[in-house]
Each structure stands twice: as structure tokens, then as C-alpha cells.
Amino acid sequence: MGFSGSPPPYLSLVVGSDEALGNTRTKKPVAASASMRGASFASGGSGVLDSTGDTINMTKQIEYFSDLKDQMLSARLGAFGASAFLSKSIFLISAGSNDNIDFFSQDTSPDSTALQQFREAVVSTYDSHVITLYNLGARKFAVIDVAPLGCCPYWRSRNPSGECVEPLNRLAKSLNDGIRDLFAGLVREMQGMEYAIGSTYELVSRIVQDPQSAGLTELKSACSGRGGRFNADGGCTPSAGYCSDRGKFLFWDFLHPTQATSRLAGRAFYDGPARFVGPITFRELAET
């Protein structure tokens, strides 16, 4: 979002209205013509579980997509045309990180039972979301997995050694394994379904192991922050400082990657190698 080529946010504000100025909670949907090139239903801070974050949860995001399909695409293309259009469209899902962070923040030393229950809840809910999208016409899923969150500046700053918080990384890895198993099972059951999973976990892990190959030099500290250990005291706010060479940093703020890191991810997910995306690349998903 925010770039000229980005899909418009579904809940676009209506310029000139009182509602657009934030005087009410009501927002208007994007115009039908704009939705033909895609729409973003994302809500920062949301997760797979509806209980994650005080945001527009994923269930509501899918309801908005259903509204767009019924009120805009079907009205413009007809039922058959809308189905054909959606079957060729890419559905990008990037979720799970905030679920992990919320869970781990509540208990940094969960027992095996709690870990298993959390993993099952997330994977089961993820499964339900994907099936709902499939039933609404989605066929091509581009999925981004959960990064090694324990290597973010915030979590490093909480570790006396300053190294990655491995229990949080293991939690992310376990969830990623569950998501891969989920899609491998669904593709055998859902006719016409295709998917590609881009692994931020593998990409960031590789960068941490060999930053020079990625052209990065700073792995631990945030480019933008308000000081403290690893510049992790607070996020990117108007009063926060920022580094002079953001292209050399792995992390922009205490939790999020820089544009340089995101560019590396985009290239890896689109064209490979297989270590970072599978069972096919995002390019292959788009071209099938």
C-alpha cells in the first residue's frame, strides 16, 4: 500500500466528507472500477486469530472481500464473469506474526501443552479462512510465512546476550510447518487450487547468517527508533530519529524490515531460489 501500483485499500476514505475526516467510524468502499485491479483488505496489527490485535480482524477482512465480490465484481461482470476473474486473481496472505508475538508476550516460557494448543488454534483458523476464500472464488494463494521474530531489535533488546530469542523463533518455525502442511493437504482436496509460500523465515535467517551476500551490514539495531539498546525503545514515530543509510539495515524499526529487506524478499519470492519459495514461485503462480 502507498505506492502508485499498489491495490487501493478497500475502506478508502471519501475525500471531502465529514466521515473521511475521521468524525465517524464509517468509511466507504473503493469504487467498482478501482477494484478491478485488486484491493487491499489488510489491517496493520491483525492476525490469523480474531482475538489478535485491536484491529479489523481477518474474519471481517474476508467479509469485506465477499461484499466487494457481490456488490461490485458480480454487478460489473456477472456471476460467471466474476468467478472467472477471481480464479485468475492472486490472493496474498501475510498473517501469523502478530499472533505469535501476542502469545509469546503473555508467556515467554509456555509449556508444551500451551504451545500445541496455540499452534492448533492458529492452523485450524487459518484453514477455515482459506476454505472460506476458496468458496468465494479464490484459487491462487500467495502466502508469506512468519519471520524469525526473535531476531527483531525489540526481542534482541530483551535478551541479555543480545542474540536472537530462539524460543520465539522456534514458535514461528512450528507455525510455518503447520501452514505448509495445511496447504499441502488443501491442494489435494480443492479442485483448481494453487499456492506458493514465500519464506521470510528462511530469507531473514540466511541474511543473519551471511549479511554480506544480501548487501546489508547492520542486523541487530533498528534504523528508526527512539534510542535504547538496539534503538528499540519505541517504533517509527514523527519524533523518532533514523539512520543515514537505511539500505544497509535489516530492520527499519523495532519489529519491521527495511525497504531493502522487503525488496530482497520480493525478488526471492517471485523468482526463487527454491529455498525461499515453494512449491512454485510467485511468478509461476501468476503465469499459470
pLDDT digits (tens, 9 = 90+) for 267-279: 999 999 999 999 9
3-state DSSP percent of the chain in helix, strand and coil, to 5: 50, 10, 40
CB 156 within 8 A of CB 251: no
**Higher-pLDDT residue of 237, 132:** 132
67 assigned to some structural domain: yes
pLDDT at 229: 97
Inter-CA distances, 62 with 68, 143, 208, 276, Å: 10, 15, 35, 27
Residues 6+ apart with CB under 8 A from 250: 204, 207, 208, 211, 216, 218, 219, 257, 258, 261
149 within some domain = yes
Q: Is residue 258 in a domain?
A: no
More reliable by pLDDT, 80 or 164: 164
The reported pLDDT for the residue numbered 29 is 52
Average pLDDT over residues 194-210: 98
**Distance (Å, whole) CA 253 – CA 143:** 23
Residue 226 falls within a domain, yes or no?
Answer: no
Asked if residue 62 is part of any domain, the answer here is yes
Residue with more model confidence, 17 or 144: 144
Alpha carbon distance 191, 263 (integer Å): 33
Q: Which domain holds residue 146?
A: 41-208+271-287
23: pLDDT strictly greater than 70: no
DSSP state of 19: G
DSSP per-residue codes, 65-77: HHHHIIIIIHHHH
Q: How many CB atoms lie within 10 A of CB 26?
A: 11
- Please say whether the dihedral angle defined by the alpha carbons of residues 113, 185, 50 and 106, taken in this order, is positive or negative: positive
User: What pTM, to 2 d.p., does this model score?
Assistant: 0.91
Higher pLDDT among residues 74 and 124, named by residue? 124
Q: Give the total number of structural domains in the chain.
A: 1
Picking from 52-56, 140-144, 155-159, 166-170, which range would have the lowest pLDDT averaged per residue?
A: 52-56
The set of long-range contacts for 155-161, using a CB threshold of 8 Å and a minimum separation of 24, is 156/220, 156/229, 156/230, 156/232, 157/228, 157/229, 157/230, 157/232, 157/233, 157/254
Residues in Cβ contact with 28 at an 8 Å cutoff, skipping those fewer than 6 apart = 11, 12, 13, 14, 17, 19, 20
Residue 170 pLDDT > 80: yes
pLDDT at 234 over 80: yes
pLDDT at 266 over 90: yes
Taking only the tens place, the pLDDT of each residue in 80-117 is 888 999 999 999 999 999 999 999 999 888 999 999 99
Could you tell me if residue 31 is inside a domain? no
**Residue 237's pLDDT band (boundaries 50, 70, 90)?**
confident
What pLDDT does 33 receive? Answer: 63
Report yes or no on 218 lying in a domain. Answer: no
Q: What is the mean pLDDT of residues 196-217?
A: 97
Mean pLDDT value of segment 135-140: 97
In a domain, 36, yes or no: no
Reported as a single tens digit per residue, the pLDDT across 38-48 is 889 988 889 99
Highest-confidence segment of 16-20, 182-186, 232-236? 182-186
